[in-house]
Amino acid sequence: MIDLGAAVRLTASCTDAGGVPANADSVTLAVTLPDGTTTSPAVTNPPATVGRYSVDYTAALPGRHIVHWQFASPTAAYADVFDVRPADPGFLFSLADAKKHLNIAAGATGDDDEIRDWSAATTWIVEHFVGPVARRTITERHSFTTADTRVLRHTPAIALTSVVPVLAGGTSYDPATLDLDPDTGIVQRLDGGVLYGPLRFTYTAGRAQAKANITAAGRVILQHLWRTQRGSARGPVVAGGDDYAVSEPISGLGYAIPNRALELLEPDRLPPGVA
């Protein structure tokens, strides 16, 4: 995973039909960006290397990038992908906090990228139970004809940005004329009238600050995931063994959630059917 604005080195090797490295007469690199556009940066063949090509590409858009190398004379091709994090990756806690909980020295940076990946996974797991923690903009379509209220799919919902019709000639609603219940996500007109749909709601969801029990649960989950990957290589568990016990599988998550984490998240767990 690459950070937005960072340089990623893209490399490929050209070989002939027998698998022997060979310099090509022509090389084309196409990078398809997340918005569907394509760019073709100039590539280099470093001195004293045969069939080896590279380019340092600066990631300017978040999302999935598709890389395709095409060589001619000899004919060869190579495809790859890389992902770019958004400017705000929405981690539950900082890299420094994660390393502190894992008992990894601040100056030891060899595992930083992996820790950040596990922090992202931890955040996703926590939000599966309590809804968005980091603030984000969500746009969703609600297919209905008329209704007194609509329920947004992600809570806590902080503020409505826009409510516009999906179909031409439909009715738009000024967010100032609507009431939003942050905890339930219920939207209704202040004048008591009905909403005419289908409508597309754009809103901000998340929390101004994560509660202590939520971040504590995240640390327990992070420690558990780190232990399952590292075994005994990282030494003893930070907390007691019971904190990391996993006794029951969870639908969609298997045995990834320790009992202690579930207990910590319980006060803020979403009701069934709410994301």
| Residue 17: strand, helix, or coil | coil
CA 71 to chain centre: 34
- What DSSP element (H or E) covers 221? helix 212-230
User: What is the reported pLDDT for 48?
Assistant: 82
Tokens standing for residue 206 = 């998340």
Give me the pLDDT at residue 245, please.
Answer: 58
**Angle at Cα 124 formed by Cα 134 and Cα 59, nearest 5°?**
75
Query: Pick from 210, 250, 241: which is nearest to 223 by CA?
Result: 241
Retrieve residue 127's tokens: 């939000």
Rounded CA separation 81/86 (Å): 16
Alpha-carbon distance of 241 to 229, in angstroms, equals 17
Spacing of C-alpha 239 from chain mean position = 28
Residue (of 61, 53, 2, 5) closest to 37 by Cα position: 61
pLDDT at res. 250: 59
pTM equals: 0.80
Do residues 106 and 65 lie in contact, with contact meaning Cβ atoms separated by under 8 Å?
A: no
Q: Which pLDDT value is given to residue 231?
A: 59
Look at residue 238 in the predicted model and tell me its pLDDT. Answer: 43
Q: Calculate the dihedral angle through the C-alpha atoms of 22, 25, 30, 31, rounding to the nearest 10 degrees.
A: 40
Low-confidence ranges of the chain (pLDDT < 50): 232-241
Closest CA to 12 of 42, 47, 55, 66: 55
Token pair, residue 48, equals 């004293």
